[in-house]
Amino acid sequence: MQKHRALIIDDEPDIRELLGLTLNRMGIDVDTAADISSAKALLEGSNYNICLTDMKLPDGNGIDFVKHAQKAAPNMPIAVITAHGNMDTAIQSLKAGAFDFLTKPIDLSSLRELILSAINTNTIHSNTDLDTGIIGKSESIIQLNKAIKKLSRSQAPVYISGESGSGKELVARSIHSLSSRQDHPFIPVNCGAIPRDLMESEFFGHKKGTFTGATQDKTGLFQAAEGGTLFLDEVADLPIDMQVKLLRAIQEKAIRPIGSNSELKTNVRILSATHKNLGALVEQGEFRQDLFYRLNVIHISVPALRERKADIPTLAEYLLDKIQSEDEDRKLTLASDAITALQRYSFPGNIRELENILERAYTLCETNNIHEQDLQLGSNLGVISSPTTETELLSEPTKTDHFIQSQNYPSLDDYLGEIEKEILCSALDSVRWNKTLAAKKLGITFRSLRYRLQKLGIDTD
């Protein structure tokens, strides 16, 4: 078995000796250098599994060496050692390509965790056929997959931007699954779905008896993700007071459960995402600039589906296979006219909408081939319709417009859903809720009726 080798760069002999002894006890051979020029010479003649470098060196700084190593040894994880509390320097090193950072005084248990994580990263990425799980061969997806593989080698926080339904969580899961944290939890949380008064408890946990209803200790999301990844989806929805607490947890790598007298150290990688423009929210004062700076160490953008239309046939086939995988007796294929129609469609809901369209078509299609009419794209808000005339644009609001506004429906889908529900319930009432007779009366198939009832949440049991 090949022995691992580390490079340690520090101008203080005592620090070099301490780090060297710690790594030797882990069975790792060590080379040391007192400055950048010596380290560069060692790097030319040897391959290293990990590098530890101090930030302040006689002939430069650690970030200079990180930038050099990105070209000379791009697969070597580098951890930069920074002064206590100097988070700005740590973030600069991560942006430059460092694997992670350590703060002085060095905690040896944290050092050992970091070393094992770096070596595990090398082992994972020695496989050149790593699959990100992102479907597509368009140029934007090729670049996205390259970015995912690179980011999975790092411990840096990543901010993922993109429209709703474009696959931001899938990207986050892919980064986690290809990282050294892959054997630990991936915890996704929708920040906008947590009630404001429960946020602190959800993130950090609480002790029994802290408040009314706290009948037992609760483990928070940070603790649940220990050793793994915490994915903060729709992070823009966090209220300002919670942003302050989250910032401190990220900076200190520690949390304090509500009612606890002590802090708990955490080892969690933070990935975040939102469909909103976080930079604009910072300018408007709705999102803290310092938190944005901590989350947006590295930024990755997920393309909208309409920007990668060449991938739609492959994606559609993949999603259809996924939908019908549980039904061995019924296998459908997409006809060429259906694929063409999908490529013409604008997909405001992105991949999530594509999957919903295919699920509906699979349920309602009466043949073995899904055709354009089975997709029912005309009923979706994102269909590219014929141009509206100036006269139509300037016409007075209709009675329907006033009705939608008076009912305060958030979208046309909700309004149409209520009308459909009323028609279905009326037909079912007329035949004493016999679904077979109701389907005949409505002129639709039994399968179509069942799909519509499920979609609208009408309980017929």
pLDDT digits (tens, 9 = 90+) for 152-179: 999 999 999 999 999 999 999 999 999 9
Q: Which CATH superfamily is domain 5-125 in?
A: Response regulator (3.40.50.2300)
d(CA 380, CA 258): 46
Q: Are strands 298-301 and 264-265 parallel, antiparallel or unpaired?
A: unpaired
Q: Which CATH superfamily is domain 397-461 in?
A: Homeodomain-like (1.10.10.60)
pLDDT, residue 461, reads: 59
Q: Which residues of 146-176 are buried (b: 16+ CB within 10 A; e: fewer)?
A: ebbbbbbbbbbbbbbbbbebbbbbbbbbbbb
Nearest to 76 by CA among 60, 53, 108, 106: 53
The residue written with tokens 């915890």 in the block is 187
Q: What is the largest CA-CA distance in the chain?
A: 89
Which parts of the chain register pLDDT below 70? Answer: 1-2, 379-415, 459-461
Residue boundaries of the structural domains of the chain: 5-125, 144-301, 308-385, 397-461
10 Å Cβ neighbour count for 244?
Answer: 13
pLDDT, residue 38, reads: 96
Q: Which CATH superfamily is domain 144-301 in?
A: P-loop containing nucleotide triphosphate hydrolases (3.40.50.300)
Note the pTM of the prediction, 2 decimals: 0.80
Residue 86: both structure tokens together: 């100097």
Residue 199: both structure tokens together: 């946020």
Residue 29: both structure tokens together: 């051979």
Q: Indicate if 308-385 has the same CATH topology as 144-301.
A: no
10 Å Cβ neighbour count for 212?
Answer: 6
Nearest to 316 by CA among 276, 266, 375: 375
Q: Give the architecture-level CATH label for domain 308-385.
A: Orthogonal Bundle (1.10)
pLDDT digits (tens, 9 = 90+) for 283-295: 999 999 999 999 9
With 0-12 / 13-18 / 19 or more C-beta atoms within 10 angstroms meaning exposed / middle / buried, residue 448 is middle
